[in-house]
Amino acid sequence: MERSSRFRSRRIAPVIAVAAAAALTLAGCSSSSGGKKSEEGASNASAGKASTPRMTVALVTHQAPGDTFWDIVRKGAEAAAAKDNIKLVYSADPSAGNQANLVQNAIDQKVDGIAITLAKPDAMKAVVAKATAAKIPVVGLNSGLSDWKKLGLLEFFGQDETVTGEALGKRLNEEGSKRAVCVVQEQGNVGLTQRCDGVKKTFSGKLDTLYVNGTDMPSVQSTITAKLKQDKAIDYVVALGAPFALTSVQSVSDAGSKAKIATFDLNSQLTGAISKGTIQFAVDQQPYLQGYLAVDSLWLYKNNGNYSGGGEAPVLTGPAFVDKSNVESVAKFAAKGTR
Amino acid sequence: MTMTQQAEPAVTRPPAPGPRATDGRTAQRPLVLRLLARPEVGVFLGAVAVFVFFLIAAPAVRQGSSMATVLYQSSTIGIMALPVALLMIGGEFDLSSGVAVVSSALTASMLSYQLSMNIWVGVVVALLVSLAIGAFNGWMVVRTGLPSFLVTLGTFLILQGVNLAVTKMITGNVATDDISNMDGFDQARALFASSFDIGGVQVKITVFYWLVFAALATWILLRTKYGNWIFAVGGNKDSARAVGVPVKFTKITLFMGVGLGAWFIGMHQLFSFNTVQSGEGVGQELIYIAAAVIGGCLLTGGYGSAIGPVFGAFMFGMVNQGIVYAGWNPDWFKAFLGVMLLGAVLINLWVSRTATRR
């Protein structure tokens, strides 16, 4: 007995010693800068809450998993839902067929309103008709500017990708760019192609397209570097998403290029890069606003019969330019992941 | 180490060129054919062909700095292709390796940031997590006898979902917070993501690691008992077990090797780009497997080398960047890539057929 207990304690001792050492090491390992502790307790704006009866709204998008942009749309929708006493059902699938099934799912749940994106309008036609037949109001957001009216949607919140591209192209002219490259992170994505086409339409210099593998950042970085080396005359890199703009900063320095960087869409790191001057400007379509307005509009329609644009005109949420002159006012919202 | 006594007399050690060169008849064959029979020679010729092709087609490739870019892209694929190749020689493969890279980076970043710890705490925990993922894959495969395709497809989906859900739950966003101003970041960056000046050209540190790891993997495969075990379990699991090879140990450690590689590349990505998006990494596993297969490893196991995947990864990086350097119409990008890779595999096949025909 005694032997065994001594044996046990001999085996426990080193375990305790290791645990204690680990605890001490961890205690000594605190980071003095950065990290969660240094993050300011910035809380979300809290508006009052509506006293109207609880309703259910489905938001069905074509988001791919893990995309920062759609995360902001969803946050906007959630904020509106919280304020309006709405239960928000969010679902998403990048494949059109699956997205249509998700809308059908919402109809089956007998929701009070549906907000959808029309990345592939033809695939959504049938299911939108079913929703209308079931007397569920449907609004559109983000993509589908040219199709929402044809499909009989109540209203639309978003930006015209082509118009936004055109605005960016004009801005490039003002910046004196002669040769730019448009970096597409997902080959075959219609919205991204429209952005580049928009830039091409108004840009007076020469614009090349470059496809990169968006799921592999080292590959994105080296491909942009390669392009900048292949064509030394490139003076502007146009990224179609914030993370890709940030990566191209490294590419530009690796290539020893003097190219400047502009981008579509924002995130918190990007506002930092704009104030530092490593990235010149971003065109923001305000995804938070799209999600917020889409959900809020369904509440207004149910409780007061209002609808923006009267079923004729869309509500545009962009393009909003963010550059060094106004980045400070945007940065604090971007830090919370809402702008 | 305890396995030493049982396995030593059991498996004959193949000589340096490769496991299949030992059947006695090769002694009479000409040197050229014997060389061609090695698994890495076909891909070596393919890589040279692709390299020469782009030297001619794309003037920008001829600069030293362009080669540094090509090598960088190749190295981030190549470092992962090495453990993936060893695993394939051992008769299994891993579909979760692409997202496992991102899991590792997310773990390190979020742990350090949320607990405001020194970066190195996150780095070490991420290593443990990556090894655990590998051990889980290996354990499931040997325990259940299910094909590794099914097991790792499951892990792939689990990791993809966990990456997204946990990141969103903890950070409130789908990408991690910027950790570049935290303690230990600069050291970690120096170790995992710095670059060196060689004759005025900036070469990324991953290129050196890639070559060192390739040498290490070659040594393991050809000069150690463990290397023999890998060939044995990949060739015929049951005969290997019959002659005393610890099959389960070998397979589980091979999967853990992939975990180690995923951790390394994950750390590189984290310290190069400061934040990680949780949706990244999907599809990369196929590129690692492709590099290993182009590098002469058989999908059925038991045959291959560690140096072959080095050329496989180089070829992938060369074609990938070469198309950009050549300034070709980018709409055709993926198609060019596919044609180039198929061509390389065909050269590979032709070489090995020529070599084995007497």
Mean pLDDT (chain A) is 86
Q: What is the CATH number of domain A161-284?
A: 3.40.50.2300
- At B86, the pLDDT band (50, 70, 90 cuts) reads very high
Among residues B334, B347, B240, B220, which one has the least CA distance to residue B295? B347
Average the pLDDT over A84-102 and give the result: 88
Contacts across the A-B interface (CB distance below 8 Å): 163
Tell me the CA distances in angstroms from A148 to A167, A192, A193, B17, one per residue in order.
Answer: 23, 19, 20, 65
Q: Does B209 touch chain A (CB under 8 A)?
A: no
Please give the helix or strand (H or E) that residue A155 lies within, else none: none
Model pLDDT, residue A21: 62
pLDDT at B158: 96
Please say if the pLDDT value at position A64 is more than 70: yes
Contacts of B73 in chain A (CB under 8 A): 218-219, 222-223
Q: Taking a contact as any Cβ pair under 8 Å apart, which residues of chain A between 121 and 180 contact chain B?
A: none
Mean pLDDT, to the nearest integer, of B246-273?
Answer: 95
- Model confidence at B5, pLDDT cuts 50, 70, 90, reads very low
User: What is this model's ipTM?
Assistant: 0.73
Least confident of B137-146, B298-307, B325-334: B325-334
Q: Running DSSP on this structure, what letter comes out for residue A313?
A: S
Q: What is the pLDDT of residue A280?
A: 95
Q: Residue B242: which H helix or E strand, with range?
A: helix B237-242
Whether the CB-CB separation of B101 and B266 falls below 8 Å is answered with yes
The answer to whether the beta carbons of residues A336 and A283 sit under 8 Å apart is no
Domain coordinates in residue numbering, chain A: 2-159+285-319, 161-284
- CATH number for the A2-159+285-319 domain, one of 3.40.50.1820, 1.10.10.10, 3.90.1150.10, 3.40.50.2300? 3.40.50.2300
The structural domains of chain B, ordered by start, are 46-192+205-356 (1.10.3470)
Q: Kindly report the pTM of this predicted structure.
A: 0.79
Q: Which of residues 117-176 of B touch A (CB under 8 A)?
A: 117-121, 160, 163-164, 167-168, 172-175
**Does residue B278 surpass a pLDDT of 50?**
yes
pLDDT tens-digit readout, B156-201: 999 999 998 999 888 888 888 888 889 999 999 999 999 888 888 8
Confidence at residue A248, expressed as pLDDT on a 0 to 100 scale: 95
Beta carbons of B320 and A250 less than 8 Å apart: no
CA distance B353 to B346: 10
Cis peptide before B147 (omega within 30 of 0): no
pLDDT of residue A16: 65
Q: How confident is the model at residue A20 (pLDDT cuts 50, 70, 90)?
A: low
If residue B277 lies in a helix (H) or strand (E), which one and from where to where? none
Q: Which tokens is A195 given?
A: 């952005």
Task: Round the average pLDDT of chain B to a whole number and report it.
Answer: 86
CA distance B257 to B33: 33
Per-residue pLDDT at B149 exceeds 50: yes
Q: Which pLDDT score is estimated for B11? A: 44
pLDDT in tens, A292-311: 999 999 999 999 999 988 88
Residue A10 pLDDT > 60, yes or no? no
Residue B201 is predicted with a pLDDT of 85
CB A56 within 8 A of CB A87: yes
SS3 call for A142 = strand
